[in-house]
Each structure stands twice: as structure tokens, then as C-alpha cells.
């Protein structure tokens, strides 16, 4: 369980809220023993070309990816697109809409933080200096830099989380629509970190079934920091809803110890790996 897995299909770079450039990320993952990877930044493929080039140099397998923001029954849900064509028209149009949502949401978060006497305007200014594509992680970092929170997790718990003053209800496009963009881009759609959503088991299965009907291929079964019981639970979800399995650490930052690239459980033998068939290259995942 703690040896490095060869396949890690959920990694972030500076193109979204990761800490490493795309090339540094690929070298970091390769140095840890990852042999096949995907770059999956939030709502952007801006880092993909640089990562692909670094992967060739490092001799590791690479597919273009993205982690798209979506909504289901009013909850924020993340859908991974793996082995996508980043230039596909439907995907580009969808990403454009998500960028609009992100900028608008950042404005609203800032306004709400100000109303709660937190430095929302200053945080927004800092966030927009960090990125063209604001995430809540960027807000958390800005609030820490401004002395409004001790660390990022406190910023989330006190200010940014659902039920907190800076929370803005997500108005992302529906899961089925976002999944359609990935399918249109020739990619495999994977439901990210399925146990992280505050849903009952029954609702989680309904989400997974609707996702599959919309063209979804898999669900993340091996995730960063997951216990054996959590891997088993996600595997059961995959089996009961007819989805394949994926593996991804959700790595963002070398200073965060719990989810380095490749620290992942093996997929249970009953689970078919999403990377074993097209659109993944033929030898993907074989070391
Ligand atoms: Mn993130
Ligand atoms: Mn996510
Ligand atoms: Mn992620």
C-alpha cells in the first residue's frame, strides 16, 4: 500500500492551484517512481504542453487531463477528463464558461468576506496576482499571507467552507453536461474522489449512475491518503454502478505530506483500470 504506484492520474501544477510548474511536477513524480501520469489542473489545460514535453524527457507515459468543476443537486462535484484532446471545440467552450464562473465567484467571495470583516478585497487582489483562474485554495493562501488565518485549513474551516461567511453556493454546470464535454474531447471521464462529497451512500450511487449514463467511464478508487476501508468502499461503488476504477493522488504541494505523487493503494483485482483501454495509449500503465 505504501510503495509507489506506477500510475497516478490526478496531479495539479501551477497552472491551477499546485505549487510546482508542470515540468517540475512531472520530474517530481518521475523521481518518486511514477511511470504513467496525467496532469489534471482545475478547469484548465494550460500546463499540458509543458508537462507532455517534460514527460518525454523523463521517459514517463503521459496523457492530457483536466479536473472540471460541476454541480449535482447543488453540490460541487469534480469530474476528471483523462486522455483528452485539449483543443476540442466543445471542451474549449466549456472551459471558457467555467473561467467566467470562477472570476464571478471570486468577486462574490471577496464581497462576502468583507461583510464578515475579513480582508476580502485585499485577498482578491492577491489572488488575481497569483492566477487568472482563482480557486478557493488561492483565497486560503491569500488569507494566510494577510494574517487573517493561521494556515490554509483554518482559512477553509473558519471562512471558506460551506456554512462559513465566505462560502458561495456553486453554480457550476451540471455533471452530465460537463461529462459530455470530456466525451466530445475523446477523453475518459472519471468521477474524482467520490467519498469526499457530503452525500449519503444512496445519493452517491445515484450520482455515479447518472454520471455513467452521461458517458462517465470510471470513478477514482485509489485516492491520496485513503485508508484500506475507503478504497474498498470506493471499489464497491464502482462495482455496483458499472464504472471502471482510476487511481490519483490529487497532489498539489511538496510541503503537504499526506498525498505525494504515487502514494496510492493498488486497485482491487475486481476493478477494471480505466487506463487499460482507449483512449489511453496501448501500453499505458504497463511498467
Ligand atoms: Mn486543488
Ligand atoms: Mn477535486
Ligand atoms: Mn484535484
Digit-by-digit pLDDT tens for the chain (287 residues) are 446 789 999 999 999 999 999 999 999 999 999 999 999 999 999 999 999 999 999 999 999 999 999 999 989 999 999 999 999 999 999 999 999 999 999 999 999 999 999 999 999 999 999 998 899 999 999 999 999 999 999 999 999 999 999 999 878 999 999 999 999 999 999 999 999 999 999 999 999 999 999 999 999 999 999 999 999 999 999 999 999 999 999 999 999 989 999 999 999 999 999 999 999 999 898 86
* Nearest-angstrom CA–CA distance, 89 and 162: 33
How buried is 229 (Cβ within 10 angstroms: 0-12 exposed, 13-18 middle, 19+ buried)?
Answer: exposed
Q: How far is the CA of 117 from the centre of ligand 2 (A)?
A: 29
The arrangement of secondary structure in 99-160, i.e. its CATH architecture, is Orthogonal Bundle (1.10)
Report which of 146, 204, 207, 137 is spatially closest to residue 178, judged by C-alpha positions: 207
Residue 263 β-bridge partners:
4
Q: How far is the CA of 198 from the centre of ligand 1 (A)?
A: 18
Among the bound ligands, name the one nearest to the CA of residue 250.
Answer: 3
**Structural contact between residues 186 and 83, judged by C-beta atoms closer than 8 angstroms:** yes
Q: How far is the CA of 206 from the centre of ligand 1 (A)?
A: 25
Q: How far is the CA of 156 from the centre of ligand 1 (A)?
A: 13
Report which of 24, 9, 2 is spatially closest to residue 61, judged by C-alpha positions: 9
Q: How far is the CA of 9 from the centre of ligand 3 (A)?
A: 10
**Structural contact between residues 77 and 197, judged by C-beta atoms closer than 8 angstroms:** yes
* Nearest-angstrom CA–CA distance, 1 and 274: 20
**End-to-end distance of the chain based on CA atoms, in angstroms?**
17
Q: How far is the CA of 249 from the centre of ligand 3 (A)?
A: 8
CA-based R_g, the chain, Å:
18
Among the bound ligands, name the one nearest to the CA of residue 78.
Answer: 2
3-state secondary structure of 153: helix
Among the bound ligands, name the one nearest to the CA of residue 131.
Answer: 1
Q: How far is the CA of 195 from the centre of ligand 3 (A)?
A: 13
| Sheet strand arrangement including 7-8 | 7-8, 36-39, 61-72, 75-82, 188-191, 218-223, 244-248
Among the bound ligands, name the one nearest to the CA of residue 197.
Answer: 2
3-state secondary structure of 61: strand
Q: Hey, what's the cell of 174?
A: 451540471
Same fold, 3-94+183-276 and 99-160: no
Q: How far is the CA of 149 from the centre of ligand 3 (A)?
A: 23
Indicate the domain borders of the chain.
3-94+183-276, 99-160
Q: Which option is the CATH number for 3-94+183-276: 3.40.50.300, 3.40.47.10, 3.90.1200.10, 3.20.20.140?
A: 3.20.20.140
pTM greater than the 0.85 cutoff: yes
Report which of 4, 32, 5 is spatially closest to residue 254, judged by C-alpha positions: 32
Which DSSP symbol is given to 160? I
Amino acid at each position: 500500500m505504501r510503495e509507489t504506484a506506477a500510475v497516478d492520474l490526478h496531479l495539479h501544477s501551477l497552472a491551477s492551484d499546485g505549487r510546482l510548474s508542470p515540468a517540475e511536477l512531472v520530474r517530481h513524480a518521475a523521481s518518486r517512481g511514477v511511470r504513467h501520469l496525467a496532469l489534471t489542473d482545475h478547469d484548465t489545460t494550460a500546463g499540458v504542453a509543458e508537462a507532455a514535453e517534460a514527460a518525454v524527457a523523463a521517459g514517463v507515459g503521459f496523457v492530457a487531463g483536466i479536473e472540471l468543476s460541476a454541480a449535482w443537486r447543488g453540490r460541487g462535484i469534480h469530474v476528471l477528463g483523462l486522455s483528452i484532446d485539449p483543443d476540442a471545440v466543445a471542451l474549449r467552450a466549456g472551459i471558457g464558461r467555467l473561467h467566467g464562473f470562477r472570476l464571478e465567484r471570486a468577486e462574490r467571495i471577496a464581497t462576502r468576506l468583507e461583510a464578515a470583516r475579513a480582508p476580502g478585497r485585499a485577498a482578491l487582489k492577491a489572488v488575481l496576482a497569483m492566477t487568472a483562474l482563482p480557486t478557493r485554495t488561492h483565497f486560503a493562501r491569500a488569507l494566510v499571507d494577510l494574517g487573517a488565518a493561521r494556515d490554509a485549513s483554518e482559512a477553509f474551516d473558519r471562512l471558506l467552507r460551506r456554512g462559513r461567511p465566505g462560502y458561495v453556493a456553486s453554480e457550476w454546470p451540471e455533471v452530465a453536461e460537463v461529462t459530455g464535454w470530456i466525451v466530445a474531447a475523446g477523453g475518459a471521464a472519471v468521477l474524482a474522489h467520490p467519498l469526499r462529497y457530503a452525500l449519503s451512500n444512496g445519493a452517491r450511487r445515484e450520482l455515479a449512475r447518472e454520471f455513467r449514463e452521461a458517458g462517465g467511464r470510471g470513478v477514482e478508487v485509489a485516492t491520496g491518503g485513503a485508508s484500506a476501508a475507503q478504497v474498498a468502499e470506493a471499489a464497491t461503488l464502482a462495482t455496483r454502478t458499472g464504472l471502471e476504477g482510476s487511481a490519483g493522488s490529487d497532489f498539489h504541494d511538496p510541503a503537504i505530506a499526506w498525498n505525494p505523487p504515487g502514494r496510492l493503494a493498488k486497485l482491487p483485482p475486481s476493478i477494471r483500470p480505466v487506463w487499460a483501454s482507449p483512449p489511453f495509449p496501448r501500453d499505458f500503465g504497463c511498467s
